[in-house]
């Protein structure tokens, strides 16, 4: 994304209200025969009068762009009218929490033609429902206003399905936000590479990453950062982040901030001492090769399951070359032997949720069972996916009795055991599928071994 485009976005990067208006219009068009009511999130009590940090529901961000709690959105497809309902805020609330936008300001800020207070919703529903037999209300909205919907039949699953379908294809505005989340997160990753020293704790690197994001106005992480030194790198969703970094070990960091709700999802693996050992380089190069080949192949019409299959084959070849696997590539893939070292999918959709909409039922294609894939869809222009192959020496898998028996002739388990302290390598970028030609890689963090070493050396 050009730098001038990035500057156009505000510090915390709200979704442009014209994009939300388009999302609402698309939803009205896909559900033309019923009143649509969508709830924003409410604050959740942690204890007494302390709440968890509020993060708006993704569907509500998509349709309204409102980051605060206590809102609802009503879409009336027959009239094309949208009404945003805001909480009626009392003085006490203002004393503690300061300014809260009233109707006029809300209209300007979110570009919704009509803004009303929440307590007006029942009266308005009672009037509008007369023109319909159906409604599409999410479960929260339905349980709060069921009475006011009268005899309307609620098709809540159709609403969820329609939003799933729409959210899969990202608009240019959404891609800008994903790009901005990536740009800031990239700086976080570089800061982490520069800061890492033997003797530090994993959480110090987490602090480094989050500080960069926060300083740039991104308050939320898309998910709990994974900062995993040495053998922790083999734990796919490691989250303790409290171990000591040791010289000659690898550090795997999977972290991404969100911007306007849109998440970056980036993983890098680098040597804590700033230099890859030969055996680290051997494994790393296989993963990098698989990743680059899969990115190159991420084009419209390609099945995401075929990307996964391709990655599996490249990893199998590399691992066979290094003596961890034996036999034909077909057999290693079909038998599931490669899964001992690559026990997850090649990637997932990315958007307002880090594991975003799979695109709706219509797009799901059942994958061959031996691949064990949740995400198998034909890629379309506007899809944003992660591409994240990895090789892990995971103790639970390598010491698994049944797996050892099943793959006895295919996997050199005693060789794998010698690598248990190695941990894992994962390399993950965020990729936009374009209508023609090569995909757009939003992630600009060094990944070639020489560039990674250079980034680690910078301040040393």
Active-site residues: which are they? Answer: 49, 237, 254, 265, 344, 348, 355, 388, 392, 426, 428
Pairing of strands 114-117, 81-86: parallel
Nearest-approach distance from CB 460 to Mn ion, in angstroms: 29
What is residue 118's DSSP assignment? Answer: G
Q: Which is nearer to Mn ion, 71 or 238 (CB)?
A: 238
**Cα(317)–Cα(311) distance, integer angstroms:** 10
Q: Which is nearer to Mn ion, 182 or 386 (CB)?
A: 386
Nearest-approach distance from CB 254 to Mn ion, in angstroms: 7
Nearest-approach distance from CB 459 to Mn ion, in angstroms: 28
Per-residue burial over 91-112, b = 16 or more CB atoms within 10 Å of its CB, e = otherwise: eeeeeeeeebbeeeebbeebbb
Q: Cα 8–206–240 angle (5° rounding)?
A: 135
Q: Which is nearer to Mn ion, 292 or 320 (CB)?
A: 292
Enclosing H/E stretch for 201: none
Q: Cα 79–83–85 angle (5° rounding)?
A: 160
Given CA atoms 189, 192, 198, 199 in this order, what sign does their dihedral have? negative
Q: Which is nearer to Mn ion, 265 or 356 (CB)?
A: 265
**Cα(347)–Cα(345) distance, integer angstroms:** 5
What is residue 274's DSSP assignment? Answer: S
Pairing of strands 384-387, 266-271: unpaired
Centroid of chain to Cα 237: 14
Helix (H, G, I), strand (E, B) or coil at 262: strand
**Cα(435)–Cα(439) distance, integer angstroms:** 9
Tokens representing residue 301 in the block: 């019409």
Exposure of 93 in the CB half-sphere (CA atoms within 13 A): 7
Nearest-approach distance from CB 185 to Mn ion, in angstroms: 12
Nearest-approach distance from CB 107 to Mn ion, in angstroms: 37
Helix (H, G, I), strand (E, B) or coil at 236: coil
Q: Which is nearer to Mn ion, 333 or 384 (CB)?
A: 384
Nearest-approach distance from CB 280 to Mn ion, in angstroms: 22
Q: Which is nearer to Mn ion, 128 or 264 (CB)?
A: 264
Tokens representing residue 287 in the block: 């993963």
**Cα(375)–Cα(384) distance, integer angstroms:** 13
Pairing of strands 384-387, 429-432: antiparallel
Nearest-approach distance from CB 348 to Mn ion, in angstroms: 6
Q: Which is nearer to Mn ion, 64 or 184 (CB)?
A: 184
User: Smallest Cα–Cα separation from 367: which of 433, 307, 299, 446?
Assistant: 307
What residues line the site for Mn ion (CB under 5 A)?
A: 265, 386
């Amino acid at each position: 994304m050009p730098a001038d485009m990035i500057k156009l976005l505000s510090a915390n990067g709200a979704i442009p209200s014209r994009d939300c208006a388009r999302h609402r219009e698309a939803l009205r068009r896909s559900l033309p025969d019923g009143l649509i009511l969508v709830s924003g999130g409410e604050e959740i009590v942690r204890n007494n009068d302390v709440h968890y940090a509020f993060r708006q529901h993704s569907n509500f961000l998509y349709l309204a762009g409102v980051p605060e709690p206590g809102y609802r959105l009503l879409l009336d497809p027959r009239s094309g009218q949208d009404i945003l309902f805001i909480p009626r805020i009392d003085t006490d609330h203002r004393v503690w929490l300061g300014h809260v936008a009233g109707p006029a300001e809300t209209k300007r800020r979110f570009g919704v033609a009509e803004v009303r207070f929440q307590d007006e919703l029942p009266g308005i529903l009672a009037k509008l429902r007369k023109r319909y037999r159906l409604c599409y209300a999410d479960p929260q909205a339905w349980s709060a206003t069921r009475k006011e919907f009268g005899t309307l039949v609620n098709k809540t699953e159709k609403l969820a399905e329609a939003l799933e379908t729409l959210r899969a294809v990202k608009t240019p505005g959404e891609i800008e936000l994903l790009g901005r989340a990536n740009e800031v997160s990239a700086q976080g990753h570089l800061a982490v590479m520069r800061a890492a020293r033997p003797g530090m704790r994993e959480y110090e690197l987490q602090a480094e990453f989050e500080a960069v994001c926060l300083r740039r106005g991104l308050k939320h992480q898309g998910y709990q950062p994974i900062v995993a030194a040495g053998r922790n790198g083999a734990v796919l969703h490691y989250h303790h982040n409290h171990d000591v970094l040791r010289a000659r070990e690898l550090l795997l960091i999977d972290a991404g901030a969100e911007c306007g709700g849109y998440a970056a999802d980036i993983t890098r693996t680098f040597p804590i001492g700033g230099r890859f050992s030969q055996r680290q380089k051997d494994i790393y190069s296989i993963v990098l090769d698989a990743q680059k080949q899969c990115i190159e192949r991420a084009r419209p019409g390609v099945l995401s399951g075929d990307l996964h299959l391709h990655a599996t084959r490249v990893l199998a070849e590399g691992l066979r070359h290094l003596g961890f696997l034996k036999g034909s590539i077909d057999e290693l893939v079909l038998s599931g032997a490669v899964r001992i070292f690559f026990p997850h999918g090649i990637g997932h959709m990315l958007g307002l949720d880090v594991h975003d909409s799979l695109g709706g039922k219509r797009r799901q294609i059942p994958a061959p069972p031996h691949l064990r894939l949740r995400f198998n869809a034909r890629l379309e222009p506007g899809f944003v996916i992660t591409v994240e192959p990895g090789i892990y020496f995971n103790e639970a898998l390598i010491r698994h009795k049944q797996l050892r028996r099943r793959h006895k002739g295919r996997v050199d388990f005693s060789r794998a055991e010698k690598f248990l302290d190695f941990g894992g390598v994962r390399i993950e970028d965020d990729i936009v599928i374009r209508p023609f030609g090569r995909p757009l890689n939003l992630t600009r963090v060094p990944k070639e071994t020489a560039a990674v070493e250079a980034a680690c050396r910078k301040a040393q």
